[in-house]
């Protein structure tokens, strides 16, 4: 396809992919969006936030209109590293098109969603449509990074210092498993991460009676964390699961019993739990397992351990806003023929911050290639998503007016 013949949404995505915005770098992506949004009459604010031990992050907030309701689209222009460029079939920031598919880092996660929503707004404005309310964009460069100086920081500033109000938000993350229209994310399980560490006594592997191998105790504790189900799921959420993601002893010698061992873990919990109650259950399991003796011998003392959690858990949430969900579901069904599942599966996103200021759902492209080598999107999927977004925006404001 001749580059000059690209549909608008594909041309926007091409330009965004060509901005090498590997987190936390801005890479020109926000500069590009600012220019296009200003042409449409949006008031654009660029804010950089800083925090100790984290990189500075640039963010963008743009709003058209001053009236309520304020419908927001949220997303991120930062992308994960490309890995070994030699493994890619084409340069990861070239946005080459092969057989109707655009290849490039961020194609689906999530510059593609941003491109489609912007193209939908441009199409509506070009047709003379204006919202009975306000449209806004909240775009960060910190979703793939620590997520400290991005969406949460600019939301706090907008709400607490500027008095900004939001009626609803759509996050353009890739939510569909195989085809556009299959799933809307209306909530997410919570997430808690931590490290359990076991103290032992270093010694010679041939003289175990003179040492205390912490690996034995760590096996005991991690088995207790993972062996028994936490629950069997609820009406809206799948079952809670805890996974041990790393085991470390820092020992390169074959004949040395290590002095300590640790394991990292992450638990994704449903609405049976809160971040506090899931920690209580984790600690109950650890304490019970610490006194078991099947791995340590009858004459050994309880396992000496400690558990520490990362600073910021993600809390479980479920969106029930009827106008937001029905408007998006209706638009999806009209444009794709799919009645979307209302899903709470998958990992976390910046929706975990937005839920504190307004109802939020997620809907975007097919996520099969996100974070992969040769991340890619079909141009036909970009066209479908743009049409869904356009119809949704129209339907939402119509629905909001009727609901009010």
Instruction: Enumerate the active-site residues.
Output: 78, 143
Q: Mind giving me the DSSP string for 3-23?
A: GGG--HHHHHHHHHHTS--BT
DSSP class of 252: -
CA-CA distance, 302 to 318, in Å (whole number)? 41
CA-CA distance, 56 to 190, in Å (whole number)? 26
Q: Pairing mode, if any, of strands 168-171 and 97-98?
A: unpaired
Per DSSP, the three-state class of 55 is coil
Q: How many Cα atoms are found within 13 Å in the side-chain-facing hemisphere of 110?
A: 30
Q: Pairing mode, if any, of strands 101-103 and 57-64?
A: unpaired
From residue 318, alpha-carbon distances to 44, 187, 396 in Å are: 30, 4, 20
CA-CA distance, 42 to 34, in Å (whole number)? 9
CA 387 to chain centroid: 24
Cis peptide before 338 (omega within 30 of 0): no
């Amino acid at each position: 396809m001749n580059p000059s013949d690209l549909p608008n949404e594909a041309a926007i995505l091409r330009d965004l992919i060509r901005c090498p915005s590997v987190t936390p770098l801005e890479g020109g992506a926000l500069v590009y969006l600012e220019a296009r949004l200003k042409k449409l009459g949006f008031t654009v604010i660029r804010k950089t936030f800083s925090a100790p031990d984290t990189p500075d992050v640039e963010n963008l907030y743009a709003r058209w209109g001053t009236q309520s309701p304020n419908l927001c689209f949220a997303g991120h222009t930062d992308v994960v590293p490309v890995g070994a460029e030699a493994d890619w079939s084409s340069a990861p920031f070239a946005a080459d098109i092969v057989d109707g598919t655009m290849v490039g880092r961020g194609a689906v996660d999530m510059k593609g969603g941003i491109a489609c929503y912007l193209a939908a707004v441009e199409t509506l404005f070009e047709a003379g449509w204006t919202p009975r309310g306000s449209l806004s964009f909240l775009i960060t460069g910190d979703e793939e990074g620590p997520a400290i100086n991005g969406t949460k920081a600019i939301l706090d500033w907008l709400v607490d210092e500027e008095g900004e109000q939001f009626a609803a938000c759509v996050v353009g993350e890739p939510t569909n498993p195989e085809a556009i229209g299959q799933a809307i994310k209306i909530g997410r399980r919570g997430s808690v991460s931590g490290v359990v560490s076991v103290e032992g006594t270093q010694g010679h592997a041939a003289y175990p009676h003179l040492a205390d191998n912490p690996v034995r105790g760590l096996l005991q504790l991690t088995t207790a964390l993972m062996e028994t189900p936490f629950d069997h799921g609820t009406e809206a959420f799948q079952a809670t699961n805890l996974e041990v993601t790393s085991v470390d002893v820092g020992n390169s010698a074959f004949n040395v019993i290590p002095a300590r061992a640790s394991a990292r873990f992450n638990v994704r919990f449903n609405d049976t739990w809160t971040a506090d109650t899931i920690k209580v259950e984790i600690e109950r399991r650890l304490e019970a397992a610490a006194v078991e003796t099947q791995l340590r011998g009858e004459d050994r003392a309880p396992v000496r351990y400690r558990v520490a959690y990362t600073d910021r858990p993600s809390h479980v949430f479920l969106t029930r806003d009827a106008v937001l969900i029905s408007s998006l579901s209706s638009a999806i069904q009209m444009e794709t023929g799919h009645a979307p599942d209302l899903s709470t599966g998958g990992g976390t996103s910046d929706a975990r911050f937005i839920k504190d200021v307004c109802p939020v759902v997620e809907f975007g492209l097919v996520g099969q290639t996100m974070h992969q080598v040769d991340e890619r999107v079909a141009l036909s999927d970009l066209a479908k998503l743009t049409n869904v977004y356009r119809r949704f925006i129209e339907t939402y404001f119509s629905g909001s007016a009727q609901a009010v």
